[in-house]
Copies of this chain bind each other. A is one copy, B any other.
Amino acid sequence: MNTVSVVGVGLIGGSFALALRKAGFTGRIIGVSSPAAVRAALELGAIDEASPLEPAASASDVIYLAQPIEQIIETIRVIDAHVRPGKLITDAGSTKLTISEAAAKHLRRGRFVGGHPMAGKESRGVEQAEADLFRGRPYVLTGRDAGLESWIERIGARLVFLDAAEHDRLVALTSHLPQLISTALASLIVDENKAAQVAGPAAMELTRLALSPYEIWRDIFSTNAAGIDAALGAFIGKLEELRSALRDPSMERRFEKAAAAARELRK
């Protein structure tokens, strides 16, 4: 690939551009984003030039969509006429099924491979971008593309192949459920007048995600409601199991199993 367009130059898009450069990409990187974002990205050296979507799409071998989910879908709806046949369109959206369905429906000339880098930061915006954001993190692809795969490996991410439905079902458990847990816990603690007085490290740790702004979650909830509903149901089931076993000798085995699982996640 010689020319890459990054559409949506924020934390993820900017980091992907910086990561490509650091990994030795010598082609051109075009940024498609708001005037403020492209100005900041040009200053950081994340992109070589700024352009509107249509000429950027026409000029690119790879188009990397790093917008919010609903905007990715909107871009997919309008971009196909401007893409040269066979060129790759990929994305970094946090849910994959709705985006993949839009791609199947609207992309004829462009080839689509969905992506989801499992990386982030508390703060957003291209100012927070860093070349090593993806290093050591899972990077899900919903299809194969040798060129894209090779660059994802070179930026230090760990490739994981999942179909879009399976991705959405799994991240409902590992990402969307943790967010809702944290939001529910923070809201429960604030309802109890004096609970904040005794909040220790455990309460702090489990309520940190509750600080996340809703704007990044709105699209996730609307595009993965079924997966999240199922994850919540399964989690409530686990809580009810523990609740009914509180004074039961089986709790020791349950704790050991969960501790082993937590250790396994850290390998």
Residues on A lying within 8 angstroms of B by beta carbon are 118-120, 137-138, 140, 160, 162, 166-167, 170-171, 173-175, 177-190, 192, 194-214, 217-218, 221-222, 225, 228-229, 231-236, 238-243, 246-247, 251-252, 254-266
Contacts and interface: CB of A to CB of B under 8 A. Distances in A.
B262 A207 contact: yes
A181 B225 CA distance: 21
Contacts of A241: 184
Contact of A235 (B179, B185, B213, B247): B185
A210 B261 contact: yes
Given A137-B200, A183-B255, A239 B242 contact: no
Copy total for this chain: 2
B259 A211 contact: yes
A198 B118 contact: yes
Given A198-B171, A246-B225, A205 B178 contact: yes
A169 to B, nearest CB: 8
B256 A187 contact: no
B228 A187 contact: no
Contacts of A228: 243, 246
B202 A162 contact: no
8 contacts: A119-B201, A138-B197, A160-B197, A160-B198, A174-B202, A184-B238, A210-B262, A214-B251
Contact of A262 (B195, B211, B242, B254): B211
Contacts of A188: 173, 231, 234-235, 238
A41 to B, nearest CB: 24
A205 B233 CA distance: 21
Contacts of A140: 198
A209 B205 contact: yes
Nearest to A158: B197
